[in-house]
């Protein structure tokens, strides 16, 4: 499991009201690169947008207000399967 967290106030002073949009777009790009990197080494990736926010912030010792988990992904080795004969 990979979890990305963010500190929105670091972007808010620079990007004003568009900061949150830019954070979300950037994390999407980062996760897409994880998909590409994973494929190159025979791994599968699954992005996770719905998770227990409080539990994840607590597990990672984040305060949940200034810094919090924004996105997650599971990454793992693919199981090679042989195709069924028909």
Q: Is residue 86 part of a domain?
A: no
pLDDT of 8 strictly over 90: yes
The pTM score is 0.83
R_g (Cα) of the chain, nearest Å: 17
45-74 pLDDT per residue, tens: 999 999 999 999 999 999 999 999 999 999
At residue 79, the pLDDT reads: 85
| Angle ∠(79,51,8) on CA atoms, nearest 5 | 115
Residue 8 maps to a domain: yes
| Total tally of structural domains belonging to the chain | 1
Q: Is residue 46 part of a domain?
A: yes
pLDDT score, position 70 = 97
Q: Is residue 29 part of a domain?
A: yes
Q: Which contiguous run of DSSP H or E holds residue 44?
A: strand 43-48
84 is a domain residue: no
The neighbouring-strand residues paired with 4 are: 71
Kindly state whether residue 83 falls inside one of the protein's structural domains. no
pLDDT at 86: 61
Asked whether residue 59 is domain-assigned, the answer is yes
Residue 47 domain boundaries: 2-77
Q: Is residue 45 part of a domain?
A: yes
If you ran DSSP here, which 8-state letter would residue 65 be given?
S
pLDDT tens for 30-45 read: 999 999 999 999 999 9
């Amino acid at each position: 499991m990979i979890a990305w967290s963010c500190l929105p106030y670091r972007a808010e002073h620079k990007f004003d009201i568009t900061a949150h949009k830019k954070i979300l777009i950037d994390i999407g790009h980062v996760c897409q690169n994880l998909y590409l990197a994973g494929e190159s080494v025979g791994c599968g990736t699954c992005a996770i947008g719905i998770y227990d926010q409080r539990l994840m912030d607590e597990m990672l010792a984040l305060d949940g207000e200034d810094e919090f988990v924004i996105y997650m992904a599971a990454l793992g080795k693919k199981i090679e399967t042989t195709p069924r004969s028909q």
